[in-house]
Amino acid sequence: MNKINEEYLLYKKLCKNRSIRLKTDELTLVESLKKKGLSIIYKDGFYELTEDISILSESEIRSDLGIVENSKIDKLKVIFKTGSTNHKIVNYSINEFYTVLVAEYQSKGQGRRQKKWQSPLGANLYFSVQFHLNEMVNIAFIPLIVARSICNALSDQGINNCKIKWPNDIYLDGKKIAGVLSESRYCNEKGFIIVVGIGININMYSEQKIDQEWSSIKISQNKNFNRNTILSSLLSRIIPDFDNISEFNFERFKQDWDFLDFLKDKSVCVLDDNVSYTAIATGLADDGALIVLYKNKFRKIYSGEVSIKVTK
Ligand code: BTN
């Protein structure tokens, strides 16, 4: 058995029993699990997880999904470790409907604008959804639609008050808890192939080196959440939203967006490559851009390399 499989087995054993005795040859495995961010303490001859962890499981995720959504997920794969689920999923074949890949740990979690996405073992959700689109739709809206699906799914789980910081950061209690990294490519046979990567801080609580204010659902709600349940809830929102994408209606979407808009009427600092200026965010344009008011004129901002910071 290779080392990763051994680590996965030990990880599963710890998740199941929480506190275990180890054989000498398992000690190096524990060190590797700790390096991946798993919080383990040693007490009276036992190695113990400091938190309960419900291991990610395909059957648990599927059991909470409706028949229709289940039938639309051609492949749902849970893996222990990868660099980035967005990079890994492109090696999977393009199926009729949706492919979902979820990892317990990412060693090179990728954020927008070449940033790193902290992905400690067993703490959060890191997953990607791959699908293809035959019809022409404005791809710029995909990450925005996903951001709305995330807010709705979390609200279904009783986590209210999530907001979207344009284009697709999810905020809870004024701090970032989730992000979306969406990528697309064109292939003659299948049309546009879309990969949407989603990272949600679920049970992360310890000090993580993240260069912006962050939170997690656990910090906000003061309890642990089962990642399988949250993932099912997300998929049951995301899949119908993608299924209906050809009927996308901007006016209807804008109503939802206005309600969820974190930046609305806030003073923001727009950081382009080498220019930065302060403006007022006024809302979403019909092509997915952010509208800001700068020196009494409205300007459209397109995501690309731009970063928006709320000025205090
Ligand atoms: C951002 O807000 O910067 C986007 C973060 C996206 C993170 C997710 S985690 C799953 C998928 N795999 C990655 O490497 N990134 C996305």
What are the CA-CA distances from residue 72 to residues 95, 230, 235, 273 (Å)? 10, 18, 10, 41
In angstroms, what is the span from residue 85 Cα to ligand 1's centroid?
A: 8
Q: Of 220, 241, 258, which residue sits at a domain end?
A: 258
Give the residues across from 221 on adjacent strands: none
Residue among 56, 78, 86, 305 whose CB has most ligand 1 atoms within 8 A, to mutate: 86
In angstroms, what is the span from residue 243 Cα to ligand 1's centroid?
A: 22
Note whether 246 and 134 are same-domain residues. yes
| Residue 214 φ then ψ, to 5° | -130, 165
What's the pTM? 0.95
Note whether 86 and 101 are same-domain residues. yes
- The whole domain housing 199 covers 58-258
Q: What local confidence, expressed as pLDDT, does residue 19 receive?
A: 87
Q: What local confidence, expressed as pLDDT, does residue 305 receive?
A: 64
Q: What local confidence, expressed as pLDDT, does residue 210 receive?
A: 66
Q: What local confidence, expressed as pLDDT, does residue 71 receive?
A: 96
Q: What local confidence, expressed as pLDDT, does residue 295 receive?
A: 95
- What's 95's domain CATH number? 3.30.930.10
- Tokens coding 112: 């927008």
What is the number of structural domains in the chain?
3
Q: Residues lining ligand 1, CB < 6 A? A: 84-86, 106, 109-112, 115, 117, 126-128, 169, 179-181, 197-199
Note whether 89 and 121 are same-domain residues. yes
User: Which letter does DSSP use for residue 70 in this model?
Assistant: H
Q: What local confidence, expressed as pLDDT, does residue 66 receive?
A: 94
The CA angle 238-239-245, to the nearest 5 degrees, is 90
pLDDT along the chain (312 residues), means of 10: 89 92 88 95 92 95 96 97 98 94 98 92 97 83 96 96 95 96 88 95 79 88 95 97 92 96 94 86 95 95 77 71
CA-closest residue to ligand 1 atom 16: 197
> Which of ligand 1's atoms lies nearest the C-alpha of 85?
12
Note whether 64 and 167 are same-domain residues. yes
Note whether 157 and 224 are same-domain residues. yes
